[in-house]
Amino acid sequence: MIPVGFAYERPSSVDGALALLAEHGEEASVMAGGHSLLPVMKLRLAAPELIIDISKLSELSYVKVDGDEVAIGAGTRHSTVERSDVLAAESPLLAGVARTVGDPQVRHRGTIGGSLAHADPASDLPAAVLALGGTVVLRSPRGTRSVPITEFFTGVFSTAKEPDELLVEIRVPRTGGAGWAYEKFTRRANDWAIVGVAVVDGRVGLVNMGQTPLRATATEEALAGGASIADAAALADQGTEPPEDLAGTKEYRRHLARVLTRRALTTAAGG
């Protein structure tokens, strides 16, 4: 299967991309690695009139320490995130979660910015950034703004990003040696998570438990209040509205969220 035809631009800079976005707005789609967008275009579930290809913009590919945070260029590929020495030292959860995305071929192409902008609630990295309490940096000809990750995801495949904005950077706190874990539950290694749980520094991000990636706030509050891991994990599905499909009923996903949260918290605590 092949996509519907489209026009194609490959700007040589972020500014060039922003100018194209400003001109074409909602008719255009930005493509970096293309591993979220191209599959849906091939199934003809999406048919943008213009593709703005930012896959070769090296200015969007970096991982660097910036004050209390690690800044990751939106065009940084999963395989780079996975193997980044900076992230291994400063935010190992992100590297660990990137290692579980798709398969090696997907990780060689897909980008962290693309994954976040696509906002698939079954995707791994959005929940990881959510657990980290990161921010995303959006640029448009109107300027640059930072949006806390907690305000970024607005629904299934939808975000606070305006049509003329480009996601240019992801910033996550330097968690250093804080315990972390990612429990990804799948049928097959290469499948989307039926449920995933990312834990770092007492914060819990949930994959595929609602319209957006979610924080298990009840669990986090219980932990902060001194509850045991088991007791806190039992609250992990509170406030979630998990989807129902062949891989899992709502009830099953709620159960998995509790079990996986307990396991992730235990691992993160060194257990």
Partner 1 sequence: MSIMGTRVRRVEDPVFLTRGATYTDDLTDERLSGALHLTFVRSPMAHARITGVDTTAAREAPGVVAVITADEMDLEPTKHFPAVPDAMARPWLAKDTVRFVGEPVAAVLTEHAYQGEDAAELVEVDYDPLPAVTTLKQALADETLLFPEAGTNLAVAFGGEDEFSDDLFADCEVVVTQEIVNQRVAAAPLETRGAAAAWGEDGRVTLFASTQNAQQTKGEVAGWLGVDPGLVHVITPDVGGGFGAKIGADPEFALVAWLARHVGRPVRWNESRSENMTGMLQGRAQLQTITIGGNRDGKVLAYRLDVLADAGAYPRIGVALPTFTRMMAGGVYDIPKVETRARVLVTNTTSTGAYRGAGRPEATAAIERAIDLFAAEIGKDVAEVRKLNVPPPDAFPYTNKGGAQYDSGEYAKAIDTVLEAAGYQGLRAEQKARRERGEVLQLGIGLSCFVEITAGGMTAEDATVEVHPDGTVTVLTGTSPHGQGHATAWAMLASEKLGIPVEKITVKHGDTDLIPKGIGTMGSRSLQTGGVAVYQAAGELADLAKQRAADLLEANVDDLEVADGAVRVAGTGTSITLAELAEKDQLRIESHWDGQMPSFPFGAHLAVVELDIESGKAVVDRILTIDDAGTILNPLLAEGQRHGGIAQGIAQALLEEVVYDADGNPLTATFADYGIPSAAELPSFTLLTMETPTHLNPIGAKGIGEAGTIGATPAVQSAVCDAVAHLGIRHIDMPATPLRVWTAINAAQNGSDA
Partner 2 sequence: MTVKVEITVNGESTSADVEPRLLLAHYLRDQLGLKDTNVGCDTTSCGACTVLLDGESIKSCTVLAVQADQQSVTTMEGLSTDSDNLHPVPAAFRAEHGLQCGFCTPGMVMAAVSLLEENPKPTEKQVREGLEGNLCRCTGYHNIVRAVLAASGQDPDKAEGSEPDMVAPGFSTGSGA
Interface ranges with partner 1 (CB under 8 A): 1-2, 4-5, 43-44, 185, 187-191, 194, 246-249, 252, 255-256, 259
Q: Which of 152, 155, 160 is CA-nearest to residue 132?
A: 152
Q: Which member of 13, 15, 39, 158 binds partner 2 (CB under 8 A)?
A: 39
Contacts of 227 (CB under 8 A, 6+ apart): none
Nearer residue to partner 2 within complex by CB, 190 or 226: 190
Q: What's at 260, amino acid-wise?
A: L
Nearer residue to partner 2 within complex by CB, 2 or 226: 2
* Token output for 236: 């992990």
Nearer residue to partner 1 within complex by CB, 152 or 182: 182
Is residue 173 part of the contact set for partner 2 (CB under 8 A)?
no
To partner 2, the closest distance from the beta carbon of 146 in angstroms equals 27
| Total Cβ atoms within 10 A of residue 184 | 23
Partner interacting with residue 64 (select from partner 1, partner 2, none; CB below 5-8 Å by kind): none
To partner 1, the closest distance from the beta carbon of 2 in angstroms equals 5
Nearer residue to partner 2 within complex by CB, 64 or 187: 187
Is residue 10 part of the contact set for partner 2 (CB under 8 A)?
yes
Q: What is the DSSP letter of 210?
A: S
Q: Which member of 17, 30, 51, 232 binds partner 2 (CB under 8 A)?
A: 51
Q: Which of 110, 74, 88 is CA-nearest to residue 176?
A: 88
* Token output for 136: 């995303």
Q: Which of the residues 85 through 124 are near partner 2 (CB under 8 A)?
A: 92-93, 96-97, 99-100, 102-106, 108-109
To partner 1, the closest distance from the beta carbon of 173 in angstroms equals 31
Contact predicate 102/109, CB 8 Å:
no
- By DSSP bridging, strand 135-140 and strand 69-73 are unpaired
To partner 1, the closest distance from the beta carbon of 32 in angstroms equals 21
How far apart, in whole angstroms, are the C-alpha atoms of residue 238 and residue 254?
Answer: 8
Angle at the Cα of 96 from the Cα atoms of 95 and 99, rounded to 5 degrees: 85
Separation of first and last alpha carbons in the chain? 47
Nearer residue to partner 2 within complex by CB, 91 or 240: 91
* Token output for 6: 């489209």
Which residues would be at the binding site for partner 2 (CB under 8 A)?
1-8, 10, 31, 34-35, 38-39, 42-43, 51, 53, 55-56, 79, 92-93, 96-97, 99-100, 102-106, 108-109, 179-184, 186, 188-190, 267-268, 270
